[in-house]
Amino acid sequence: MRIACFASGSGSNVEAIFEAIEDGRMSARCVLLVCDRPGAPVIERAVRRGCDVFVFAAKEYPDKEAFEREIVAELERRGVERIILAGYMRLIGQVLLEAYQGRIVNIHPSLLPSFPGKDAIAQAFHAGVKITGVTIHVVDEGMDTGPIIAQESVRLDNDMTHEELQKAIQRVEHELYPRVIEEWIKEGANV
């Protein structure tokens, strides 16, 4: 299965996916990284792994449709079958949704539907919840509203700092995401 990873930042989930592919836990090949932030650390991670990279700055395009058309062309050029969002901080628009309907998956650092959108870890931390977690879902036109594939909880201890919670969430993400992606690929999951 030929996949593309989309990311905007450090790329720790992308790194976990690369490692799972390399050690045989995932039967996929990441043929493209799409990044909307020139200079983001995830770019170096992908280059180190020999993965093609498409980097763009949204402000250089007249609208979302224009940069998404270019992304779809890059994906099609490489025969990408599935898209894995791994810290991509943009809502997916109609151009990508139509081209990859039911074939885009996202990871979110909360137990959706609680705390959708940006800064979900901080939202949960400041709300004082005792349990939060990680959700993997199929992407639709909403913000973190698509059908849920998997969830795993993370308990907040009373003396836990925001940074400790973030690390706990990332540990779960790095183990759960590759495993769920592999199951999703094997099932041919067009949800």
- C-alpha distances (whole Å) from 148 to each of 26, 52, 63, 85, 114 are 20, 29, 29, 14, 13
pLDDT the model gives residue 187: 81
pLDDT surpasses 50 at 42: yes
DSSP H stretches of helix in the chain: 12-22, 41-48, 64-77, 94-99, 120-127, 162-187
In this structure, is the dihedral angle defined by the CA atoms of residues 12, 17, 18 and 23, taken in order, positive or negative? positive
Q: Could you tell me the pLDDT band of residue 186, with boundaries at 50, 70 and 90?
A: confident
pLDDT tens figures, 142-177: 999 999 999 999 999 889 999 999 999 999 999 999
Q: Beta partners for 54?
A: 34
| Domain edges within the chain | 2-187
Q: How does DSSP classify residue 60?
A: G
Element (H, E) at 83: strand 82-85
Active centre residues (catalytic): 108
Closest listed residue to residue 96, CA positions, set 132, 39, 126, 54? 54
Q: What is the pTM of this model?
A: 0.93
Region class of 34: left (phi > 0), else alpha (psi between -120 and 50), else beta: beta
The separation between CA 51 and the C-alpha centre of its own chain, rounded to angstroms, equals 16
CATH 3.30.930.10 fits 2-187, yes or no: no
Confidence at residue 191, expressed as pLDDT on a 0 to 100 scale: 39
Task: Say whether pLDDT at 20 is over 90.
Answer: yes
Q: Is the pLDDT of residue 190 over 70?
A: no
Assess contact for 51 and 29: CB atoms under 8 A: no
